[in-house]
Every structure is written in structure tokens, then in C-alpha cells.
A and B are shown apart, each in its own frame.
Chain A
Amino acid sequence: MNSFTYTSATAVDAAVREKSTNSKAAFVAGGTNLLDLMKENVERPTRLIGLNKLSDLATIENNPEGGLRLGALATNADTAWHPEVEKRYPLLSQTILAGASPQLRNMATNGGNLMQRTRCYYFYDLATPCNKREPGSGCSALNGFNRIHAILGASEHCIATYPSDMAVALAALEATVRVSGPQGERTIAFADFHRLPGDHPEIDNTLETGELITALDLPAQGFEKNFTYLKLRDRTSYAFAVVSVAVGLELEGNVIKEARIALGGVAHKPWRVVAVEETLRGATATEDNFREAATALLRDAQGYGSNNFKIELAKRAVVRALKQATEMNQPLDANAFLNSNP
């Protein structure tokens, strides 16, 4: 860990101002990923701006669009177990609870969750080249041990995945990210927040210099009747997803009125293909239609050796998740993942 100074921010403006004038500064809230990476010498900020005193950003309340506004500094645990989230967005609740551990969820914040960096072994290990950590040094995973790596949207420079569970549900729910920056406030559609690696894998998202996430807006549609988060991992809990699927369905009888499917663990961002979701609109909720959608979703998938299996696994997971959301043969309390974890 390198040498740094610490300050506790008392106002968003001042925090943003300081961050935008110091390229070596970093915001810290929960610290669960930043401090981990600082101990590995992957992140090396010389100034930490603590956000935890900005209690205005820790609230969860209704937004003008009829949805819910999740403060960026609300913890993952407080969000998952918030009565409104449990009632109106059980998909989000279930998804958050499938991630990390109770301790980490008590620390990690909603804003910080979006800022998580990849778990790529090579990114974490300074002894190996990594374009994300050190642009131009090469991608060791491309021809290396890439079991946990991307099968969609990767580039020759980087095949890392983005590890968050929560974001997969946020993608399916079409949340909006509210940010505050030197130029004032703006909103970013969730699909536009994270980016694909392309030529610049060192850049994870579309935040501008100095910008701070202040809240996440959930639209009114919460898919609270038909939803599921299916997470496949190498142990039953406290492990990152090998592949995960968040599904929200609006059904009228057996006919799909609206479908959302987001994949985790397969790309540099939560993976959605709106065109595929559109083909499901008006279709009946049958296994054949689900299989067709899964095939279409994974059409451009590419394996790199150890992760080839994820293509078939993701297809099967999509079909299973769609079935599960249709039938809702899963308990509906917030701990539903306990019983539906395959």
C-alpha cells in the first residue's frame, strides 16, 4: 500500500472539486474493493476522500417518476432489506443478497458497487502483464487461465469481466445513475454506465473526471410478480458468479408483455440485448421460445479456452431463469436465494 492522506468530505461540491483537481485522488465509501486493491498495489491513490459523512446520500426514498431513489451511500445490506425494495423490487433484493457476504454487504455501498473492478487474476497480480492495470503491457488472460473471463464484448486487449451481482439486476431494471460533477449534475442510463474494453480496457465506465455517483433511480416497473436472479458459482455462497442471469417478466396469462434479461459474469458490463427482449414481447412463455432467446443472446459469444463452457452454460441458465421467473416456483421472501440457489 502506498503513502496517502485522508480527508473526510463534508459536502458533495467540495468533494467533487477536490477530486477533479487531483488526478491521484480517489473517493472511498465502503472501501471493500478499493482497500483490497490498494493492498495489492493495483490502486495507488495518494489522497483518499472519505464519503461516509455525506449522510444525505444514504437515504432510500420515492422518486418523482413513481420509482425509488437509492442513495449512493446506502449500503448494499440496507438496500436489499429495505421494505420498499423488498416489496417493489424483489429482483434487486435477491440479487444483492446473492453477492459477497453479510459483512461486505454491510460495508459496500450502492455507488461503490458500480465502481467495482474486475476479479481477473492477472489484473490483481503485478507480476503479470495486464492492459487494464497497465495499458500497453498486454493481456495475460487471452492465452492464459481464463475460466472466469468474458465470452461477450471482449477485445484483443482485455477479456476481463465486471464482477457485480447488483448491477445485473440494475441493468434488467433499467436504472438511471445520477452523478454530480464539476459541471453540475447529470444522469446516465444504466446501459451506458459501464463500457466495453475496446482499445481502452483501463477505463471501466463513462464517468467524467471528478464525477461522483449520488444516487440510482429505479423506474416504476419493478417486475415484482415474475422475476429471478440465477447465480452459478463454484461454491454455494461467498463466490463471484461464473454466470448469472437476472430476469424480469411482465406476463398476461401465458403471454409475455415485457421481458428483461441481463447476464452477469460474461462481459465487461452486465449484458443485455434489447432486440432479443423485443422478440419475446407478445410471445408465449414456453421453453422453446426461451431457448430461442437464449441462443440469440449468446449468438456472438466467443470462448478463449478455459471459459468455452460458459457459452453453453449461459444459454441453459437463461432458459432456466426465464422458466423460474414464469413459474415463480421460488419463495418470495428476501432470502429466496437461499432455496433457489442451484
Chain B
Amino acid sequence: MSQLITTPRLVEAGTSNTSHIGKPTSRVEGPAKVTGTAKYSAEFNVPDMLYGYVVTSPITKGRITKINTEPVLALAGVVQIFSHENVPSLAWFDRSYKDDVAPGGSPFRPLHDNEIKFNMQPVALVVAETFEVARYAASVLEIEYAEDKFDTNIDLKRDEGHEPGSGKTGFMPPPPPRGNPNDALKNATHRIEGEYIHGAQHHNPMEMFATTVEYHPDGKITAYDKTQGVYNVQQYITKIFGLSKDQARVVNHYMGGGFGSGLRPQYQVFLAVLAALELKQSVRVSLTRQQMFSFGHRPHTLQYLKMGTNPDGTLAALHHHALHETSRFEEYTENVVNWSGMLYQCENVKLGYQVAELDVYTPLDMRAPGAATGSFGLEVAMDEMAYAAGIDPLDFRIRNYAEQDQNMKKPFSSKKLRECYHEGATRFGWDKRTPEPRSMREGNQLIGWGMAGGVWDASMQKAAAKATFTADGKLLVQSAAGENGTGTYTIMTQIAAETLGLPIEAVTFELGDTNMPEAPVQGGSWTAASVGSAVKNVCTDIGEKLLKLAQKMEGSPLKGASIDDVHFADGQIRLSANPSEAVVVRDILAASGEEKLEAETSAMPNLIKQQPYSMHSHNAVFAEVRVDEDLGTVHVTRVVNAVAAGRILNTKTARSQVLGSVVWGISMALMEETVMDHTFGRYMNHNYAEYHIPVNADIHDIDVIFVEEEDDKVNPLGVKGIGEVGMLGVAAAITNAVYHATGKRVRELPIYMDKLL
């Protein structure tokens, strides 16, 4: 399990004990997490707290006709039952319910009226003095429904898709066709086509959604909420409940996994705030694991691909069409097919993307939204195409390497996918592969090797940060970013410590609180770039202040130096031209008599610098599977994932992100699917026993390679983000390996043993 890690050298600082960026620093919040002292949303045990338990609809579409609350309210310990019958008048317009990342349409309003729009819709909140009484009371609440006909099956909506509007941030409608895709396909030397399918998938973070609302005596509230964006939740609840920002603080110090599920405020935060405000008492609402299947998910998606090659093995034509579900009330979109127009060089491309409305809840971004789906379809089709053309799948990709982004007609700000192919293949031993299917085996085990890859956006959002440097030499940096396992605490600490030349221990980074400067929602792989740049900027501001004060010190060697003439290292400000001329940072405040220095600033993408470029991260994945010849069981025994994602801030936590992504890809390929019974419009395997994700025994050797990329266009830190890119192509590489092992081409995930018998 060795790994090669190469990272760009950091600016001019040279080697010092306070050069932290790119180092495998252990997580600074590690001790809190391994001892259980890190507090998650349902763990703030505030005094006099009530418990809410959610009642969900057993029907998919229709109306509530009666709720019999009386006997339940008579139970000892039951405080109140909230339903559409007694919810106070709240904000009226849709826009008040729209959060920062909501798609187009009309957001679902919990307990708004008697209408049922999807199965497991929350219909009531029972509030009681203990969790157990609330749970019991919820189980005896009688509700009557009138049921209407519904549609939940995308298979029956193949002809009813439509092209969506661009209502959702980050959604790019596919570019218009280029070249002459129909004729080019017709005239191609070799052609393939096929339909690629995966079902719905639910994020299922380990921590279930929960909100603890602390009700303060002055009527203000603090909501400890499971979210990937405290500001997003704050604006959501303040708009709906007519609160001012200082009346509603939202906090999330630790999030037990998000993967996109916490991008939008979930209904438990609405319910908990509602109950707390109405009852003027603190309230906690936790969802159950079953209820974790009652909201957004990766949509069930049908993809159709057609490809053809020229005699020289270059791509003659590429058609990629995708159709997925959305709800009746919101138009969820993600970028599924666009990647196919930019990952390979091809002059004749036709991309299509449609959604169809069903009686389900609105889908929701889930790790590498769109790209995980699209890269599965595209990369399995590429494998089929390579076989049809008689070319090695890796060679085929290299022959069709895209030197520029043909969608945008722009060069890449940096792209080292070729190096990913090369280093990944070398590490994996791809050259020892025999190309024929079923040509490698060991006893009953058929062995297959497959590869694939992917591309993801390198983006940056506006973010702000605040820093306080105190006379004891400690630096506190704050930004309302999120930590859901991505390493935010650690990398921000590294950036801050390195910028001011401090040891890691001297820096504390705090996050996840609307009392701190604003940060974007934690998603899209943009936190390192966005919040990281803000942290660097604010620390640079502190540095300038320190320099000014240092220059006032008696006999200061820094007199007359500008911030560009000095650097911060080992607790000193040093003259870059003569590093032995230095001032000890800790002495500066003591000499000046100031107790602390403060700075607050923000960072924004430099659009002028970025505009000429297409900015993306890439990866190449190589997978080995073993398939039991008779029984059809599949084990992924080896994966090499080579990633080019700009500069890697922390090789330890970044590697973990990619390792986790590979586990997600294995999961997507082999086991993950939420199965709906369309008779009921209900997901039937809505629990952790029957919704399978890998366990320890499923995971074997995973090798992560980071390929060095220097990129000063994406952002000053040169980072591209690492949360999604590692997952791309993993499911496809495994699917391709299964074909190589068995000769069976599976085009529908997950690859259960049924499909290989």
C-alpha cells in the first residue's frame, strides 16, 4: 500500500519547521473525534429540552383527510402535535423557502397543507418530554388519507422527458451539437451503442439528520443543525419564520458525513425551529435511519450512448443522452453528459439531457453529482468501443486525448491526465494484461482488469475569514465553513500556520457558526480553494500588521521592508534577502503593548484571470476484480487511482478523500441501489441492513497517486479540490474489469451476482 505523493513546492519559503502545506499533518481534530468529545448536532444536551419525532406518510400521493390527535395529546408526557392543521401562518412566497442551492420550482414546505406529494413525506411532528414518549406517541397517531394515482417509474416515462431550465446553481445545459454527429456515426469504421442504467442511491451519512434548537430566554434561538452550510440554513429559517439574523444562530462544528445530503436544509430543521418557537422551549428532532430515505437522492438515471471510430482508432462520433427523474414540484438538474464533450477529442458530438417528473421527492446532489453517473456511462461505452475497434482501452483513451476543452473551446488551466494514465498504469502493471476476456484466472476465480477515468470542475466561491493574533503567540482563525470529514480543520490550520510561520499547535481554526464570517456551502470540492484563499488572505493581513508593528520596534532589522521583502517562518519575520535578519513574532505584540491584532477579509475568484481557461481536475482508475466463475460473486481486489487535482494541501487527508471515493465507487458498482416498489411508490430497502454499502471485508488494496500540477489560474493556492474527482470512473473501471474477467457486459448497476450467472 505504498503511495507516491508529489506536490508542488511552496513559494519561496524554503525549508523551515513551519512549512506545513503539502505535509501529511494528522487531523487536528483527531483527538476530539477518537474520544467521542466532538459534538454532533443531536449531542448538545441543553436544559429543559423536548423531543420531536416525525410521522411520515404511508401513501405516495393524495390528501390527509383526518388526524385524530386527541387520544395522543392525552398521553402523559406528550406536549404538542404539529401538523398542517395547526401550523401557524408562515412566509407565503416560494422564494422564502428557497435555499441557496435549491433547484428551480416550488420547494417542498413541510406541514404546509393536507397534500401528499411523495411517499414518506413528513406529515406530523409529535413533541414530548422524552424521546421514548415522542416515539411511542408518533406510533399511535391515527391519520386517514385519500389516495390518488401516482407515477414513480422512470422506465415508463422514457418518452415524457423534457429539457430542463437552468434554475439550479452550477447546472450547465449541454452545449449544442458540434460537427455532424449523425453522418459521422453512420460512416464510422466501428460502432457501438448501449443503454447504461443505475437506480436511485441515497447518501446515507452515518450521522442521521438532527437539529437541536436551543431556545434562549430572550426568544432567540441557536440551532445546532446537521448541515453542510450554516448560512444557508440561517437564511432559510429566518425567511420562513420571519426572524432577524441575530435571532437565529446556526451552528455545526462537526458533521457526521454529508456527501451532498446536507447541502439543502432538511425538513427536521424546519420542524425543530417551528416547535421551539411555538412552544418557547428547546427542542431536538432526529430522523430515523428509515427516514433518511425520505428526502433527496442520486436520481435513477437512464443513459444512452452511441460511438464510432475512424480507421486510425480516433473517435469519429459520440452521442450521449441522459434522462433522470425529478419531483413534480422542483426541477432537479445535474451535469451528466457535458463531460463527454470534453474528456476526449471528438469533432462530432451530440449531447442530450432530459428530466421527467415523478411522484418522488426532489433528487439531491450526491458525491460527484452528474459526473459519477456520466462517467459510468461514458467510460463503459469507451471500453466497449475500444474492444470493438480492437484497441487496448488505455491506448484508446490516449489516442483520443483532449488537449483543449472542446465544449468551451478553451485551453485547460492545467491538465495532467496523461501523466495519470501513465503513472497509474505503471503502478498497476497494466502492460501485463492479456486483452481477451476470460483470459486470466486462478482456479474458480476469473480475474479481470479494467480502467476508466473522469473529469471534475475546479471551482472557487466567495468566502470570508477572520483572524485574531494574541500576545501569547496564538492565532485564532474563523470561517463558517463545514467539516464533514474532508479535513477542513486541518488544512485551514496548515494554511494559517504556514502563512504566519507558526507551529500547528499555535493555531486554532474554528468553523461552522453563523457568528463567524460567511463561507459557501461545503460542496462541489470548492472548500479548500474558497475558504483556503480567505484564510490565506486574512493571515496575510495579520502579517502586514505584525510587520508594521515590528518595524516600530527599537533597532528593528525590518525597517523599510515591504511585505514582499519578508517571509514568516519558525515564529519569525525574516528578511528574505538575509534571513538571519529577523524579529520574533511573539515579541512584537509585547513590544507594542497591543493585546491582540484582528483582521477580517474575504477571497473571491479572479474572474479575469480565469476567464480564458477551462479549469478541471482529472483522474485515471485501474481496477482488478475476481469473479467466481460459477457463482457470480465479485470482489474488487486492487485499485489504483491516479489523480491530478492541482496542489495537494495535506497528503494524508487528501489520500483519505480519494480512498473513500474509491470505496464509494466500489459501492456504486457492486451494491448500492434504493429499490422502489412501484405498487406503493415506496423505497422498500430503506434501512442499513438491506441498502448495502461496503464493509471492511469488501475493501482490499487501494493505491492513491497524486500527480503534480502547478496551476496559478484556478486560485492563489493552486488547489482544485479533491472531494469528488476520486470517485469518477471507479464504477466504470470495475464494470470494465468484470467484462474482462467474464466476457459479460453489464450495463446496469449494481453488479449483483444475479447479473453474472
Contacts and interface: CB of A to CB of B under 8 A. Distances in A.
- Do A's and B's CB atoms come within 8 Å in the complex? yes
A126 interface: yes
Residue with the highest number of chain A CB atoms closer than 10 Å, among B444, B628, B689: B689
A136 to B, nearest CB: 18
Given A1-B139, A236-B697, A236-B698, A127 B631 contact: no
Given A121-B684, A125-B682, A309-B754, A238 B695 contact: yes
Interface string A238-266: 11101000000000000000000000000
Contacts of B757: 309, 312-313, 316
Interface stretch (A11-19, A54-62, A140-148, A172-180): A140-148
A195 interface: no
B659 to A, nearest CB: 18
Contacts of B679: 140, 143-144
Nearest to A129: B680
Contacts of B698: 235-237
B695 A236 contact: yes
A121 B685 contact: yes
A235 B753 CA distance: 10
Contact of B58 (A127, A240, A319): A127
B139 A2 contact: yes
A128 B695 contact: no
A341 B753 CA distance: 14
A285 interface: no
Contacts of A143: 679
A88 to B, nearest CB: 27
A159 to B, nearest CB: 14
A119 B682 contact: no
A143 B132 CA distance: 36
A313 B682 contact: no
A27 interface: no
Contacts of A39: 135
Nearest to B139: A41
Contact of B689 (A119, A145, A147, A320): A119
A314 to B, nearest CB: 10
A201 B730 CA distance: 43
Chain B interface category by residue count: 35 or more
A300 interface: no
A143 B677 CA distance: 10
A3 B631 contact: no
Interface string A103-135: 000000000000000010110111110000000
Contacts of B628: 342
Contacts of A1: 132, 135-136, 139
Determine the interface band of chain A, counting residues with CB < 8 A from chain B. 35 or more
Interface of B is mostly: loop
Interface in A294-342: 309, 312-313, 316-317, 319-320, 341-342
B631 A145 contact: no
Contacts of B670: 235
B576 interface: no
A107 to B, nearest CB: 16
A122 B685 CA distance: 9
A232 interface: yes
Given A1-B136, A2-B136, A342 B697 contact: no
B692 interface: yes
Nearest to A163: B689
B110 to A, nearest CB: 19
B692 A342 contact: no
A119 B690 CA distance: 9
Contacts of A320: 444, 630-631
Contacts of B13: none
B74 to A, nearest CB: 14
B632 A313 contact: yes
Interface in B684-710: 684-687, 689-690, 692, 694-698
B684 A145 contact: yes
A65 interface: no
Interface in B59-90: 59
A336 B687 CA distance: 29
Contact of B697 (A119, A124, A232, A237): A237
A288 interface: no
B635 interface: yes
A287 to B, nearest CB: 11
Given A121-B684, A122-B684, A232-B631, A145 B675 contact: yes
Contact of B692 (A122, A140, A239): A239
Interface in B614-656: 628, 630-633, 635
A2 B137 CA distance: 9
Contact of A234 (B682, B686, B692): B692
A309 B753 CA distance: 9
B684 A232 contact: no
B671 interface: yes
Interface in B469-526: none
B118 to A, nearest CB: 13
Given A309-B754, A313-B757, A342-B628, A127 B136 contact: no
B86 to A, nearest CB: 24
B44 interface: no
A203 to B, nearest CB: 24
Nearest to A316: B630
Contacts of B59: 127
A333 B604 CA distance: 61
Interface string A190-220: 0000000000000000000000000000000
Contacts of A238: 695, 697
A246 B692 CA distance: 24
B628 to A, nearest CB: 5
Contacts of A140: 677, 679-680
Contacts of A240: 689
A145 B677 contact: yes
B752 interface: yes
B699 to A, nearest CB: 9
Contacts of A124: 687
B573 to A, nearest CB: 55
Contacts of B140: 2
Nearest to B132: A1
A143 B630 CA distance: 28
A320 B445 CA distance: 13
Contacts of A341: 697
Interface in B94-148: 119, 132, 135-136, 139-140
A125 B439 CA distance: 46
B528 to A, nearest CB: 32
Contacts of A121: 677, 684-685, 690
Pick from B628, B630, B698 the residue with the most CB of A within 10 Å. B630
Interface string B299-342: 00000000000000000000000000000000000000000000
A232 B685 CA distance: 19
Interface string A1-27: 111000000000000000000000000
A91 B51 CA distance: 48
A342 B633 contact: yes
Nearest to A122: B684
Contacts of B675: 145, 147
- Give the 6 A-B CB pairs with smallest separation, nearest first: A127-B58, A236-B697, A121-B684, A237-B697, A309-B754, A342-B628
28 contacts: A1-B135, A2-B140, A3-B136, A119-B689, A121-B690, A126-B58, A127-B59, A128-B680, A140-B679, A140-B680, A144-B677, A144-B679, A148-B690, A234-B671, A234-B753, A235-B670, A235-B697, A236-B695, A236-B698, A237-B695, A238-B695, A238-B697, A242-B753, A312-B757, A313-B631, A313-B754, A313-B757, A316-B757
Interface of A: 1-3, 39, 41, 119, 121-122, 124-128, 140, 143-145, 147-148, 232, 234-240, 242, 309, 312-313, 316-317, 319-320, 341-342
Given A127-B58, A140-B680, A316-B757, 17 more contacts: A1-B135, A1-B139, A119-B690, A121-B677, A122-B684, A127-B682, A144-B679, A145-B684, A238-B695, A238-B697, A239-B692, A242-B753, A309-B757, A312-B757, A313-B753, A316-B631, A320-B631
